[in-house]
Amino acid sequence: MTRLALNWWSQPLGLDLPTRNRRGSSIAVLALTCALASACTSDSIASDPLLCGFDGDASPGYQDVSLNGSVGAAQAPAGSTVLLEARVSAELARQDLCNTDVVWEVRTGGGTVAQAESNTGPVDPMALDYVATNTWTLGPTAGAQTVYLYVKDDPSINTLLTVTATGGFGTNLLLNPGFEASDVVVGGLPSSAGAWQGDLAARVASDQGIGQHAGAYMLKFTATGLVAGAGFFTSQQWQTVDLRGYATLIDQGKVRLDASAWVNRVAGDAETDTRFDLRVLAFPGTPAGFPTDYPPPAGQIRSATINSTAGSWQQLQLRFDALPVGTRYVAVEIYPYEDVVDDGTLPEFDGHYADDVSLVLTQLP
Ligand SMILES: [Ca+2]
Ligand SMILES: [Ca+2]
């Protein structure tokens, strides 16, 4: 007899948590197999026919069936999307089953799966794999999140997949918040999330008698654009944060935002500027649109301003009691402001610094 089994036993990549049906031969169907094979006899099992479907029939070859699930990442940012895969395998026959429905249910974490059910695929002698796929958008909370999956026609064959969500509520969502990981990018408004970019500035170690607020580096503001300019007053740095994974809760008015930044400056002289600002700007759309979205309407901005004291670290703080409905990303903006003298040449700022910027979301009841 022609050997039809091309779907040889294979293990999925990623996190595998197989569970097995221990009911032995109390499962399975050979209808599609028999339709393809030249004969439907007990010999067809011995010669590894394709095993498809799963309706509780007690045909040989389906003993010791297991469900092997995998998820695309062991950890991923809260609110992001990961790939799910599942194989239903007849271990004694060393085959993955085609045309078998897998049911997916989010158990913890508040995320969503794109499909409530998916299928391992139609019978195909050329198929290398029979895999039921799905996507899982993680909920907005850091920590373990789980999806439960089972074989639709035999829920006793099931398993649980876990992803550790990073970030999320209660954690600082900014990357490189203290300028320790990398320098800022000089280049105007950024079009991608997760990095500082803006006017002429650079991270420095202790400078002119001012030490870092924490770590080995702090940010030093230099000019109000890529170069100095009269009529320009602010040396801005921006970082955008993608909040699309929080959309449902934001639109229910259940997401508070708190932001803060530490600033310091040299004493300088009578022409040394004193003002610093922190702003958070809320936008619909995506971080890629920031260069054209900026600035948003006033109702989507919160700001904090201080006239700083030389030589002491001071903290700017602000809050959105609830992020505006429709918010899908935010930008943090920090800058010193030429409130004393508008210079047109370098240095526009005599020694103005920032460190340890924070942006934290809180889920409201
Ligand atoms: Ca630092
Ligand atoms: Ca200026």
CATH for 81: 2.60.40.10
Q: What is the CATH number of the domain that holds 333?
A: 2.60.120.260
Evaluate whether residue 203 is within a structural domain. Answer: yes
Q: Which range of residues forms the domain containing residue 244? A: 185-363
Nearest ligand (C-alpha, residue 178) = 1
| Residues 196 and 143 occupy one common structural domain | no
Which pLDDT does position 60 carry in this prediction? 59
363 Cα: distance to centroid of ligand 1 (angstroms): 28
Nearest to 194 by CA among 330, 356, 301: 330
Nearest ligand (C-alpha, residue 217) = 1
Evaluate whether residue 12 is within a structural domain. Answer: no
Evaluate whether residue 274 is within a structural domain. Answer: yes
| Residues 24 and 57 occupy one common structural domain | yes
Nearest to 117 by CA among 153, 167, 143: 153
Which pLDDT does position 43 carry in this prediction? 33
Number of folded domains that form the chain: 2
| Residues 253 and 308 occupy one common structural domain | yes
Which pLDDT does position 90 carry in this prediction? 85
Task: Identify whether the C-beta of residue 131 lies closer than 8 Å to the C-beta of residue 115.
Answer: no
Task: Identify whether the C-beta of residue 152 lies closer than 8 Å to the C-beta of residue 103.
Answer: yes
| Residues 235 and 317 occupy one common structural domain | yes
73 Cα: distance to centroid of ligand 1 (angstroms): 30
Handedness of CA 218, 222, 223, 227 (dihedral sign): negative
201 Cα: distance to centroid of ligand 2 (angstroms): 14
Of 115, 134, 166, the last residue of a domain is 166
Of 166, 198, 228, the last residue of a domain is 166
Low-confidence ranges of the chain (pLDDT < 50): 1-47, 58
Handedness of CA 111, 115, 119, 120 (dihedral sign): negative
| Residues 197 and 271 occupy one common structural domain | yes
| Residues 213 and 322 occupy one common structural domain | yes
Evaluate whether residue 175 is within a structural domain. Answer: no
Per-residue pLDDT tens over the stretch 187-245: 999 999 989 999 999 999 999 999 999 999 999 999 999 999 999 999 999 999 988 87
Task: Identify whether the C-beta of residue 5 lies closer than 8 Å to the C-beta of residue 46.
Answer: no
Which pLDDT does position 15 carry in this prediction? 40
Evaluate whether residue 176 is within a structural domain. Answer: no
| Residues 135 and 227 occupy one common structural domain | no
Evaluate whether residue 82 is within a structural domain. Answer: yes
Which pLDDT does position 48 carry in this prediction? 52
Which pLDDT does position 61 carry in this prediction? 65
Of 131, 166, 201, the last residue of a domain is 166
168 Cα: distance to centroid of ligand 2 (angstroms): 38
Which pLDDT does position 29 carry in this prediction? 32
| Residues 232 and 124 occupy one common structural domain | no
Evaluate whether residue 2 is within a structural domain. Answer: no
| Residues 159 and 203 occupy one common structural domain | no
| Residues 258 and 323 occupy one common structural domain | yes
Nearest ligand (C-alpha, residue 228) = 2
337 Cα: distance to centroid of ligand 1 (angstroms): 21
| Residues 154 and 192 occupy one common structural domain | no
Evaluate whether residue 49 is within a structural domain. Answer: yes
233 Cα: distance to centroid of ligand 2 (angstroms): 5
Residues in the 5 Å CB sphere of ion ligand 1: 178, 212, 214-215, 217, 355
| Residues 355 and 225 occupy one common structural domain | yes
